[in-house]
């Protein structure tokens, strides 16, 4: 674990409304669900503590993560939007001196090196909001310096930290990464089909 260790907060509380009756986080490629792959990546980086915020299907999501060294918390207010899950994770973490990395649970292709690069950038610029960029587009995860603790607790609705980023444009540090995974989430059946095809292609099966 890094000496300067942001707490990683994985948001995994949504309803997967665009997937119909299926919870996208629990869809599998081989023996691994999407949320397992996301969380395993954050753990394998050994950056800092990992908190997973669950809501809809929380017990099922927690069950698949039980072998990973993470703290799972249940957000009873998850229907109020993403901000409530960020707040739940931040409150659980407390006020760490190294800040937070906010990670979306439906982005399974983000590379460990991206997390590491963002954490290093935040260590060098601890008053910043650090955003990865690929092909000129902002992606996820986003790392927030510790001074944004109170601001994260005041977020509202389902826009996540976007408003906070917009209000603090002078603090934003954009880091180019060679990682298209920062732009790819799994929201629909089509997204999952593409993700599945890419994973099976990697494995040669």
Q: What value does the mean pLDDT take over residues 135-141?
A: 97
How far apart are the C-alpha atoms of 168 and 201, rounded to whole Å?
A: 41
What is the overall mean pLDDT for the chain? 89
Residue with tokens 């002078």: 170
**Tally of domains within the chain:** 1
Task: State the pairing for strand pair 50-54/100-104.
Answer: unpaired
What is the pLDDT, as a whole number, of residue 205?
45
CATH number at residue 74: 3.90.550.10
Helix (H, G, I), strand (E, B) or coil at 51: strand
What pLDDT is recorded for position 169?
96
Q: Is residue 1 part of a domain?
A: no
User: How many residues in the chain?
Assistant: 205
Give the β-pairing of 7-12 and 50-54.
Answer: parallel
The domain in which residue 177 lies consists of 7-203
pLDDT recorded at residue 183: 95
Is 51 within a domain? yes
Asked if the structure places residue 190 within a domain, the reply is yes
For residues 145-160, average pLDDT: 89
85, with CB counted inside 10 A (0-12, 13-18, 19+), is buried
**Stretch 109-133: mean pLDDT:** 96
Q: What percent of the chain has pLDDT over 90?
A: 65
Q: Is 151 a domain residue?
A: yes
Burial code of 7-41, b = ≥16 C-beta within 10 A, e = fewer? Answer: bbbbbbbbebeebeeebbbbbebeeebbbbbbbbb
Phi, psi of 132 (to 5 degrees): -80, 150
pLDDT score at 3: 59
Does the residue 123 lie in any domain? yes
Q: Contact, 53 vs 12, CB < 8 A?
A: yes
- Of 6-20, 30-44, 54-68, 173-187, least confident by mean pLDDT is 6-20
**CA pair distance 9, 92, nearest whole angstrom:** 10
Q: Given this model, what pLDDT does residue 193 score? A: 78
Task: List phi, psi (to 5°) of 50.
Answer: -120, 125
User: Please, are residues 175 and 131 in contact by the beta-carbon 8 Å criterion?
Assistant: yes
Check residue 68 and give its pLDDT: 94
What pLDDT, on the 0 to 100 scale, is given for residue 54?
A: 95
User: Phi/psi of residue 60, each to 5°?
Assistant: -70, -40
Cα separation of 88 and 38, whole Å? Answer: 19
Least confident of 6-20, 105-119, 170-184: 6-20
CB 195 within 8 A of CB 108: yes
Q: What percent of the chain has pLDDT over 70?
A: 91
For residue 17, what pLDDT is reported? 52
Q: Does some domain include residue 84? A: yes
pLDDT at 203 over 80: no
| Greater pLDDT, 9 or 77 | 9
Q: Are 114 and 181 in contact (CB under 8 A)?
A: yes
How large is the average pLDDT for residues 155-169?
Answer: 87
pLDDT band at 111 (very low <50, low <70, confident <90, very high): very high
Is 25 contained in some domain?
Answer: yes
Report pLDDT digits (tens) over 15-48.
655 555 578 899 887 789 999 999 999 999 888 8
3-state secondary structure of 71: strand
171, two tokens:
């603090």
For residue 2, being part of any structural domain is answered with no
């Amino acid at each position: 674990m890094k000496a300067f260790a942001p707490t990683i907060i994985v948001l995994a509380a949504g309803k997967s409304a665009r997937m119909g009756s299926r919870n996208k986080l629990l869809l599998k490629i081989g023996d691994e669900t999407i949320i397992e792959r996301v969380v395993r990546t954050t753990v394998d980086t050994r950056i800092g503590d990992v908190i997973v915020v669950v809501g809809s299907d929380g017990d099922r999501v927690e069950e698949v993560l039980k072998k990973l060294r993470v703290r799972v918390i249940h957000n009873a207010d998850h229907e109020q939007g993403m901000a409530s899950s960020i707040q739940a994770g931040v409150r659980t973490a407390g006020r760490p001196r190294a800040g937070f990395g906010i990670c979306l649970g439906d982005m399974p292709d983000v590379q460990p090196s991206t997390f590491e690069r963002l954490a290093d950038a935040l260590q060098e610029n601890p008053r910043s909001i650090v955003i990865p960029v690929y092909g000129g587009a902002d992606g996820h995860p986003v790392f927030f310096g510790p001074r944004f603790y109170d601001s994260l607790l005041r977020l509202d609705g389902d826009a996540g930290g976007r408003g906070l980023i917009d209000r603090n444009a002078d603090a934003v540090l954009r880091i180019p990464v060679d990682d298209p995974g920062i732009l790819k989430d799994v929201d629909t059946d089509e997204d999952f089909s593409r993700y599945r095809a890419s994973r099976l292609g990697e494995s040669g099966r």
